[in-house]
Amino acid sequence: MGVVIERASGQVLIVEHSHDTELAEVDGLGDLSHASVVFSRDERYAYVFGRDGGLSKIDLLTAKLDKRILQSGNSIGGAISQDGRLVAVSNYTPGGVRIFDADTLAPVADIPAGYAPGKRSKVVGLVDAPGNRFVFSLYDADQIWVADMSNPKKPVVTRFKDIGRAPYDALITPDGRYYIAGLFGDDSMALLDLWHPERGVRRILKGYLAHDEKLPVYKMPHLEGWALAGRYAFVPAVGQHQVLVIDTENWKQVDAIEV
């Protein structure tokens, strides 16, 4: 089974792939213009994150909207914890991450993305990591934060500052070790080794635009949906019509694919 986000109608289509059949539509999900979805560990429930701040829990077996809340004014995605008990939402307005009980959608914790007096950053690149951690980037503050949810009521947040200008999105490697943030304001990327966070964030692909004219970028790129295949990562070159190929053994560029 799977789901398809129908952004124009604010619905989710439930499908099955064995016979390519449309099973049901679930409506009443709000603004899905930038929606994303994660699943419960048993894959019965789909959690849909809407652009309007809506968090919807869909029962795929009954094709019903189980629960829905409006938790912010503008959100950009979410993640579910390794143990399946917590759902996190990254918010633009107000900037921060909110954590909810995966069963009831009751609020559990709130992590405001404050970085200066009276200022809160948009949050992007939210992923789940081993050890019931959430990792995310602060677009306006040039930071990466790691929230340890071992005690859900009292998250322990580790902050990494000055990672590079304007992190726009991020991904985590399949083994849960490396968190990579793309940088909209620098021609490089930020790499955090979650097995050795004491080493801090280091920059990779420095100067990949050094020999090329930077082209205008009309829409913020994405990173989380890009591919890691074997030892190679494929990421967008911001400001170029290229896909960069990275060897994850040494985090160096080995090729560039024209697109």
First-to-last CA distance in the chain?
32
pLDDT tens by residue, 176-232: 999 999 999 888 999 999 999 999 999 999 988 766 667 777 677 788 878 899 999
Choices 3.40.50.1000, 3.40.190.150, 3.30.560.10, 2.130.10.10: CATH for 74-221: 2.130.10.10
Domain 1-70 has CATH 2.40.10: yes
Tell me: the pLDDT tens digits for 89-110? 999 999 999 999 999 999 999 9
Neighbouring C-beta atoms of residue 201, cutoff 10 Å: 18
- CA–CA distance, 57 with 55 (Å, rounded to integer): 7
**DSSP line for 52-101:** TSEEEEEETTTTEEEEEEE--SEEEEEEE-TTSSEEEEEEEETTEEEEEE
pLDDT in tens, 7-52: 999 999 999 999 999 999 999 999 999 899 999 999 999 999 999 9
Q: Give the global pTM.
A: 0.94
Sequence spans of domains, the chain: 1-70, 74-221
